[in-house]
Structure 1
Amino acid sequence: MSTPAHLWLEDENGSPIVGGCLMPLRLGSIELKSFSHGVTIPVDTNRGKLTGTRIHRPIVVVKEFDRTTPVLYRAVCEGRTLKKAIIRMYRIMASGIEAEYFNIILENVKITTVSPYLSPTA
């Protein structure tokens, strides 16, 4: 079963970048099709001791083309810094109701890549 996730963005002035979601409690959010991120820490393989500080891999999201797509293109092309991004993930309970259970809040966000992709099976 999938884990629903939604993204809320604020532009450099703190104004919402309105997505296409029409669900009442997620109105204006961007529905995410997938999400990935990783954190690693360098370790000496011989001794098992830490050799550095944590390294965050980029957060990568996949979303449908919507009204936010041109805004994200502009952000990457002009090197803009978005004020805030919030990713909210929802757990589907036994009753079938979705409950918010995990949030990621980012400030001073740089969009570094926009890669359009249309799946031939979608």
Structure 2
Amino acid sequence: MASNISIKFDGLPGSSTATASKEEIELLSYNHGITLPIASNAASNDTRSVGNVSHQDMKIVKMADKATPQLCAACCSGKVLTKATLTVRTTKDNATTKVFTYELEKVIVSSVSYSAGTSGEITETVSLNYTAITWNQGAVNNSAGWSLEKNEKTK
């Protein structure tokens, strides 16, 4: 069964054969976080933030596939991948719908780690560092973005 989460890198095909995610990399899960430093002793709510926002690397978990060697090489070389788009979909009554997409720009693979059990199936956790991100909700025109280079909203 095809995964409902996939990622596509410009110039780096994955193994998915599903119609909605052809040649993308199927994901088991992903994790991402954003933190804004807050002072709890601020005099007013307007002055509680005390620094710049911090973006964690986007972490993806996947099975080893045909993209694995290229992701490892990109990590070793520090190669900048122009764009990556992570897509979350739902499937209901054989219809697939985009729920959310994350568009990452100037992506560097910052780490790759592996694990396997007695079944011999290899899972990988890949960390992606980026300079800009855009969040898009489903098929509606609801998006926002942030440039880490400029520390400002882009959309």
Question: Structure 2-normalised TM-score?
Answer: 0.68
Q: Deviations over 1:9-59 (max 9, x none)?
A: 12xxxxx21111001221100001010000010010122511112111110
1:17 aligns with one of 7, 12, 17:
12
* SS of residue paired to 1:101: strand
The answer to whether the aligner puts 1:64 opposite 2:33 as a matched pair is: no
* SS of residue paired to 1:112: strand
The structure whose residues are more often strand, as a share, is: 2
Which structure has the higher relative contact order (CA within 8 Å, separation 6+)? 1
- Once residues 71 and 55 of structure 1 are traced to their aligned partners in structure 2, the CA distance between those partners, rounded to angstroms, is 28
**Structure 2 spans left out of the alignment, 5+ residues:** 122-155
State the shift of 1:120 in Å: 4.7
The answer to whether the aligner puts 1:36 opposite 2:31 as a matched pair is: yes
* SS of residue paired to 1:25: helix
Root-mean-square deviation (Å) = 1.8
AA at the equivalent of 2:35:
T
Q: In the alignment, which residue of structure 2 is the partner of 1:107?
A: 105
68-77 or 47-56, larger mean C-alpha shift: 47-56
Q: In the alignment, which residue of structure 1 is the partner of 2:40?
A: 45
Q: In the alignment, which residue of structure 1 is the partner of 2:150?
A: none
State the shift of 1:96 in Å: 5.3
Percent of pairs with identical residues: 26
AA at the equivalent of 1:87:
L
- Once residues 24 and 91 of structure 1 are traced to their aligned partners in structure 2, the CA distance between those partners, rounded to angstroms, is 14
State the shift of 1:119 in Å: 4.1
- The ranges of structure 1 where at least 4 consecutive aligned residues each deviate by more than 6 angstroms after the TM superposition are none
- Once residues 8 and 86 of structure 1 are traced to their aligned partners in structure 2, the CA distance between those partners, rounded to angstroms, is 5
* SS of residue paired to 1:115: strand
* SS of residue paired to 1:62: strand
- Once residues 29 and 21 of structure 2 are traced to their aligned partners in structure 1, the CA distance between those partners, rounded to angstroms, is 17
Q: In the alignment, which residue of structure 2 is the partner of 1:13?
A: none
Give the number of equivalent residue pairs: 114
Q: In the alignment, which residue of structure 2 is the partner of 1:8?
A: 8
